[in-house]
Structure 1
Amino acid sequence: MTDEALTLDDEILARARIHAREVVDEHDLELDLGALEWDVSARARRRAGLCRWDADREVATIVLARRAYERYEWPEFAAVVRHELVHALEFQRFGESGHGERFCTLAARLEAPRRCRSFANPRYVLRCRGDDCDWRATRHRASQPVRAPDRYRCGDCGGALEVEHADSGRIWTAASGYGGAKAALGEDW
């Protein structure tokens, strides 16, 4: 890891901790900041943050994505921090957390989104091949439906699927097509 990465991670953690203290004070939250740990992920590609609960230690860990910090403006990233604080509070108080009604009520109070915007473009687009169906989904990783779309069906109409490699535009409908596209693209995969 470079000194630059360490410095950026330190900046992310410092800003997040300061913001967390401000949110707790401003909203008089019963969140134990002493039982809250922080980390930065350099690998995260889809989610801007997450909150893990260690029930044995009764400690919540908020993990923030470096790439999200680099791509978002601070107000949007601060909203991610508030979102994860809601999870941490739920874990501390109830031992569990989700995105249900309880979460939504507190998130609204903190002006935190229920879901955080993706900060990365997907690598793959799955689409239904049915004539009257416009179902589609995106993927960041080569999941089973991406590698072998012929084994799966559209959840809306039951039609066959196709997959597009977003960067190249290559499309396949079977496992052999996936392998062929991967081989043809080589380093551009």
Structure 2
Amino acid sequence: MTDAEELTLADEIVARARIHAREVVDEDELAVDLEALEWDVSERARRRAGLCRWDADREVATIVLARRAYDRYDWPEFAEIVRHELVHAWEFQRFGESGHGDRFRERAAALEAPRYCESFAEPRYVLRCRSTDCDWRAARHRASKPVKAPDRYRCGACGGSYEVEHADSGRTWTTASGYGGAKAALGDEW
């Protein structure tokens, strides 16, 4: 085998996923057209373990699996992600759309696949309600608008104000200027 022909980790991931797909796809439970299914591996994905894209013009579903998730999970956990994405592929192929509703939930349960895939990365930010009688929290991986300017947004449960915490440092802020101050103070540790 020459250097150009060496198999990569991405090749391994796709090969294992294809084999698993052939094992779980059947006409009764999950009639996915494997010929109209493409596979890819994301080297960049940091929180989403997998996704399924639909190209309606070509009528082809593409399952993209995250290399970092493959590294983090044991195969049985990663296989659940593959089955989850196969359910999306089935919905796209059969109905032209996919979501996490009742139809998805029923099919995923039959395949012992999770309805929602957990993020495999720790959040960079945590939003927390400041009201003493509310325990609303939300995790964020990017500096979204609510992270950068929390004073413009409200708690998702009670409507109160919230604070944002930079998970690695523990620094918190409640305003846009607080965000800027925390970012400046942390410098390279941001």
Report if the CA contact (8 A) 2:162-2:174 is conserved.
yes
Gaps spanning 5+ residues in structure 1: where? Answer: none
Partner amino acid for 1:147? K
Structure-1 separation of matches of 2:131 and 2:103: 39
Tell me the equivalent position of 1:156: 157
Q: Does 1:90 align with 2:97?
A: no
Alpha carbons 2:128, 2:136 under 8 Å: kept:
yes
1:51/1:84 contact within 8 Å kept: yes
1:182 corresponds to 2:180: no
Once the 2 structures are TM-superposed, how far is the Cα of residue 30 of structure 1 from its aligned partner? 2.1
Q: Which amino acid aligns with 2:188?
A: E
Q: TM-score, normalised by structure 1?
A: 0.93
C-alpha distance in 2, partners of 1:141/1:107?
Answer: 29
Partners of 2:30 and 2:87 within 8 A in 1: no
Match of 2:57 in 1: 56
Report if the CA contact (8 A) 2:29-2:107 is conserved: no
The offset of 1:45, in angstroms, is 1.7
Identity of aligned residues (%): 82
Question: Secondary structure of the residue that 2:82 maps to in structure 1?
Answer: helix
- The RMSD of aligned alpha carbons is 1.5
Task: Name stretches of at least 5 consecutive residues in structure 2 with no aligned partner.
Answer: none
Deviations 1:5-57 (A, max 9, x none): x7111111111011111111596642111100011111212211110100000
1:155 Cα deviation after fit: 2.3
Alignment size in residue pairs: 185
Equivalent position amino acid for 1:182 in 2 = K
Cα deviation, 1:41-95, whole Å, max 9, x if unaligned, reads 1121221111010000000000001111111110000000000001101111111
TM-score, normalization: structure 2? 0.93
- 2:31 aligned residue: 30
CA distance change for structure 1 residues 158 and 30 in 2, over 3 Å: closer, same or farther?
closer
User: CA contact under 8 A between 1:27 and 1:110: conserved in structure 2?
Assistant: no
Deviations 1:98-146 (A, max 9, x none): 1111111111111111011211000000011112111111100000010
- Where does residue 137 of structure 1 map in the other structure? 138
